[in-house]
A and B are shown apart, each in its own frame.
Chain A
């Protein structure tokens, strides 16, 4: 494996502290607030410049919401987002627009994320036009170059999204995200809508451009093998909470949180001799509107203790570079 990537250990690009995103529920006769959907509940993470942080979890656990909240596409309920030493949690208007150019997003659905009525070239050059007074013609050579870099042809500039396949559309989306030379890209399940045969191409493209453009990724996915291929460090989310953060190797060789253990045991192994016994979790994910007390996982945890119902476990460094939020390691 080529490990040419340079991660600047002492350069913290993004720090998220106790981020919360609650969606209020209104009900009753007067439409009063009767509760919250706790989509993201107190997550903290840091991204070093040049690394890829994988965020995994099953659908509905809040990983996409976390990504969007970090990019300020929705407003955080509470917490802090510090991007490149600047607190962007409460920025508004022009200042927010000014920092936006430094972080971009690659979306999940390549069919919905491109305006069907716009020419590909104009889709890709829109970010540049937003931050300069250039017109289409001024930046056409640059945009064509960009299309080349993501594996499209120059003449694709004049086509429309409906003429492309899913994988090619995702390349267009990547080109749009790259147009402003951002520092951080949040990739929200960028390959989960694609054919398996296309997935690896797009993943490798993402890896290649990371080196060329010096990018930091927050890579959101639910496919564990995809995350393993992409990430340097991995965070596991369950019901709006970050339950375990570790380096890739650690996470797969030595998962510590019972939820992570169950997840990793579910990865199919092609070698029948090395198959491990699967841990089957019982029950469904509880509703984020009424999350369980104490540790949110205790209702399904095979190792739950009495204390788990009351005490909320904190994310703590249990081993070097390995944080777990579980009472089992709390001594």
Chain B
């Protein structure tokens, strides 16, 4: 598919979705990124079957060992295998990213489309509430909410819920503005004139026509949320220290001797973060082009 001729021939019977898919498949960078991301997701979630070392085992005799045939990426200060932790950490980081994105996109789209479609008082109320949430100072609230919720749900989910609660506002605004523009089209009033209910107008007509913006927003969020998780965990406000995540692994690098003398402890998670976030962004870029009928790239 990647080597298809320069000029894409869209057969006349193609749905708008099929055309977008074909365009996306032609974008090499995006396809390579997709393969890489899938690879990362697969090995992270298959971590228990790939790795042999026990993740929680602390081995005082083997602290801070450089890479060897026993420990491919060495061990950290507590003697835990870095390679194993990298895979398990990816699992946590990706799960946080995917879950937060899913919650934020669903809730943000719901609020945004209702506000945009109905307008008037409904719009005013929902958007003022959105502004209210957007005004929360992120870091302070994450710390406070983390402390309040700690222990009520299992470790990682505290962070997922807290970040989601604070991040849906932007998506709601974007979806609302797209819906506002889209609902001026005559096919919306046509749908009303044939007796389509408001919920169906939004689901059948409006959302499919703004989905491209939502998908692109989702990829940006996904990349952003992985970075947020890493940043919070680095500051020790993220997932609990007992759970490995790329951010938690990085936080050991705030000791000068690790940063200077033991790069095998922090370079693997840092690289994994950078390459994963980059590839998600490339995918988002590719989707943006593919879903925009006007771009010819």
Q: Do A and B share a complex?
A: yes
Instruction: Enumerate chain A interface residues (CB-CB to B < 8 A).
Output: 68, 71, 73, 97, 100-101, 104-105, 107-109, 112-119, 126-127, 130-131, 158-160, 162-163, 173, 176-177, 179-180
Contact B16 A130 (CB under 8 A): no
Tell me, in angstroms, the Cα distance from A160 to B192 when the chains sit together: 21
**Given contact pairs A113-B186, A115-B209, A116-B209, A158 touches B193 in the complex (Cβ within 8 A):** no
Of A100, A112, A114, A158, which one neighbours B194 at CB under 8 angstroms?
A100
A144 to chain B, nearest CB (A): 16
- The proximity string for B residues 194-205 relative to A, scoring 1 for CB distances below 8 Å and 0 otherwise, is 111100100011
Chain B residue at minimal CB-CB distance from A68: B189
**Given contact pairs A109-B186, A113-B186, A114-B187, A100 touches B193 in the complex (Cβ within 8 A):** yes
Contact B187 A113 (CB under 8 A): yes
Contact B193 A105 (CB under 8 A): yes
A101 to chain B, nearest CB (A): 6
Chain A residue at minimal CB-CB distance from B211: A117
| Chain B residues, CB < 8 A from A105 | 190, 193
| Chain B residues, CB < 8 A from A113 | 185-187, 190
The 10 closest A-B pairs by CB, nearest first: A127-B194, A113-B186, A112-B186, A117-B208, A100-B195, A130-B195, A115-B187, A105-B193, A97-B195, A112-B185
B197 to chain A, nearest CB (A): 7
Contact A173 B209 (CB under 8 A): no
**Total CB contacts across the A-B interface at under 8 A:** 73
Instruction: Enumerate chain B interface residues (CB-CB to A < 8 A).
Output: 12-17, 185-187, 189-197, 200, 204-205, 208-209
Contact A176 B208 (CB under 8 A): no
Contact B194 A104 (CB under 8 A): yes
A169 to chain B, nearest CB (A): 11
Tell me, in angstroms, the Cα distance from A159 to B189 when the chains sit together: 22
**Given contact pairs A112-B185, A113-B186, A119 touches B194 in the complex (Cβ within 8 A):** no
Contact B12 A176 (CB under 8 A): no
A65 to chain B, nearest CB (A): 12
Contact B187 A97 (CB under 8 A): no
Contact B15 A126 (CB under 8 A): no
Tell me, in angstroms, the Cα distance from A107 to B17 when the chains sit together: 26
Of B13, B14, B189, which one neighbours A73 at CB under 8 angstroms?
B189
A102 to chain B, nearest CB (A): 10
